[in-house]
Homo-oligomer: A and B are copies of this chain.
Amino acid sequence: MSNQEAGSQLYVAILAGGVGTRLWPGSRSGRPKQFSDLTGSGSSLIQATVDRLDGVASPEQIVIVTGAQYGSLISQQLPFLAESQMILEPSGRNTAPAVGLAALYARRRNPNAILASLHSDHVIADTPAFQNALCCAAAVAKDGYIVTLGILPTSAHTGFGYIERGKALAMAPNDCTLPVYTVNRFLEKPSQEVAEEFFLGGAHYWNAGIFVARADRFLAEYKRQQPALYAALEAIDALEDRDLSGEVRRTSFVDAWHEVPSISIDHGIMERAADVAVIPLDAGWNDVGSWDALDEVLPATQRGNLVVRGKLIDLDSSNNIVSSDRALVALIGVHDMVVVDTGDAVLIGRKEEMQRVREIVDRLAEEGFSNLL
C-alpha cells in the first residue's frame, strides 16, 4: 500500500491528555509536556508528532483527543486543524475511551477507515523509518489485524511494558519491507533480571502504545470486551446525529461522560484482543519520560553538557542537562545534574534521581503552590 493509498483511508488519533508530571517545571498542568518544546527544536512535541505524519496522513485525517482545558492550546499550536478534529474529554479516563472515541470518529467519516493511535508526547528521531512502519502497519491492519509498533529495545529497561512476539506472519504485503509477527502476549513492566533476558533474547519489544487497526475492528473488540464502555462511547458519538447547539452538545457530552469508566487500552482491550500483530520499530523512539531522557534524544552541545535551550557558562562542569527559558546559567564544579529554569521555578537535581520530580510536584501541591503546578 503506498502512502497515498494509506492517506486515502488512514486516520490518525493523537492522544494528548497526559500531564507529564515528571517533566516539571517544563511541563505544567496548564501546559503539559506535549505542548512544550522540551527538546529545544522550535516545535512542541505535539507539533512534531503532527509534522512526522506529513505524506502519510493529511491534516484532515488527524483527530486530537485531549482534555477540554487544552482545546485552546491545540488551536494555537495546530491552527490548521478544524474544531471538529478535536475530541475534548471533560476529564481524563485513560486511553481506552480516548482511542474508542477516535475509532467512532473515523468510522463515522469512512466505514473502511483505518485508525492509527499515537501519543502526542514522544520523540521519534527517524521519520522515514517511522512512516515506513506505520504504512506497513496500516496495510496489515487492512487485512483485519490490530497492529502494534513494537520498539526495538536499546537497553534492559524496566520502565516499560513489553510485547512478546509470536510467529512471523506470511501475509505481509508486498511493499512492506519490515517483518510482521503475531503477538503472544503483552507483559507488565519487568524486573531487572527479566528485562535483561528480554533484551538478550530478541523476541520482546517495548510497548509504546502505538496501535493501528480498522476502526470497526477496534470497535468490535470494545463491544466484545468492554460492553459498558462501548455503550457509553456510542451514546456520545450518537450526539453527532442530533441537531444540537454547541452548548447543548457539550452538556450532553459531559453528562454521558459520567458513564465512561477509566481504563487503559492495554489492559482493557489489547491484552485479550484477537489477531494482534507486531511490527518492530527501530526509529530512535523515546517517550521522554523524565529530564534525563534528553541525553538519549539530543547530543551534548558544550564540553560534554547538553544545553537544550538558553545560555550556559561552565567551569569544570560536565555531563549536565541545562534548559533555561529566561536566565543565563552559570555552573562551577557541577556534574551529572539536570538544571531547568522556567523563570518562576528552578529545578536542580541529580540525573539518576529525575523520577523523583513527581515528589517535588506533590510537595508543591501540598504546600499550596498551585500557580507552579
Chain A contacts to B: CB under 8 angstroms = 25, 311, 313, 315-316, 324, 326-334, 337, 339, 341-350, 352-354, 356-357, 359-360, 363-364, 367, 369, 372
Contact present for B315 and A327 (CB under 8 Å): no
- Contact yes or no, A345 B332, CB < 8 A: no
Which residues of B have CB within 8 Å of A357?
Answer: 330, 332
Contact B349 A346 (CB under 8 A): no
CB of A200, distance to nearest CB on chain B (Å) = 31
Closest CB in chain B relative to A232 CB, distance in Å: 40
Decide: A348 and B330 in contact? CB cutoff 8 A.
yes
With most chain B CB atoms within 10 A of its CB, the pick from A311, A327, A334, A367 is: A327
Return chain B residues, CB-CB under 8 Å to A330: 25, 345-349, 357, 360
Q: How far is the CB of A190 from chain B (nearest CB, A)?
A: 26
When chains A and B are docked, how far (Å) is the Cα of A324 from the Cα of B342?
A: 13
Could you say which residues of chain B place their CB within 8 Å of the CB of A324?
Answer: 346
Contact B327 A343 (CB under 8 A): yes
**Among A311, A333, A353: residue with most chain B CB under 10 A:** A333
Knowing A327-B345, A369-B328, the reply to whether A313 touches B360 (Cβ < 8 A) is yes
* Pairwise interchain contact A348-B329, C-beta atoms closer than 8 A: yes
Copies in the complex: 2
Residues of B within 8 A of A363 (CB): 313
Top-3 shortest CB links A-B: A332-B349, A333-B350, A333-B353
- In addition to A313-B367, A315-B359, A332-B349, 14 A-B residue pairs with Cβ atoms within 8 Å of each other are A313-B364, A315-B353, A316-B353, A329-B348, A330-B347, A330-B349, A331-B349, A332-B347, A332-B350, A332-B353, A332-B356, A333-B353, A334-B337, A339-B348
Tell which of B313, B315, B346 touches A339, judged by Cβ atoms closer than 8 Å.
B346
Tell me whether A350 and B364 are in contact (CB under 8 A). no
Tell me the minimal C-beta distance from A315 to chain B in angstroms.
6
A256 to B352, CA, bound (A): 62
Tell me the complex Cα distance, A364–B314, Å.
11
List the B residue with the shortest CB-CB distance to A310: B346
Most buried by B among A339, A341, A352: A341
* Bound form: Cα–Cα A372–B328 in Å: 9
Residues of B within 8 A of A350 (CB): 332-334
A314 to chain B, nearest CB (A): 9
Complex CA gap A354/B331 in Å reads: 10
Chain B residues whose C-beta falls within 8 Å of the C-beta of A352 in the assembled complex = 333
